[in-house]
Amino acid sequence: MINVLLFAHLRETVGEEKLVIEAEKMSVSDVKAWLEARYQLELSTVMSAVNEEFAMDHTIVQSGDVIAFIPPISGG
């Protein structure tokens, strides 16, 4: 199982701060596609981190890993 952490407006849109995907292995882009299909999210501009290290779309996420999606911060 892959643990997914959501921050800021992603958390508000989904209504949960943590989700679990029943999978052994997925790429970051696969996890993004899974979330976009289920929750109508737009994840093209979010930062991704796997086990607290920034990750690229091709990074593999395995069972037991934690993947976090962090939207860009705006402000002035």
Q: What is the pTM of this model?
A: 0.91
DSSP state of 5: E
CATH superfamily of 2-70: Beta-grasp domain (3.10.20.30)
Element spanning 7, H or E: none
Which of 24, 27, 43, 45 has the alpha carbon at shortest distance from 35? 43
- What are the backbone dihedrals phi and psi of residue 46, each rounded to the nearest 5 degrees, phi first? -80, 150
Condensed to tens digits (0 to 9), the pLDDT of residues 6-59 reads 999 999 999 999 999 999 999 999 999 999 999 999 999 999 999 999 999 999
End-to-end CA distance of the chain: 39
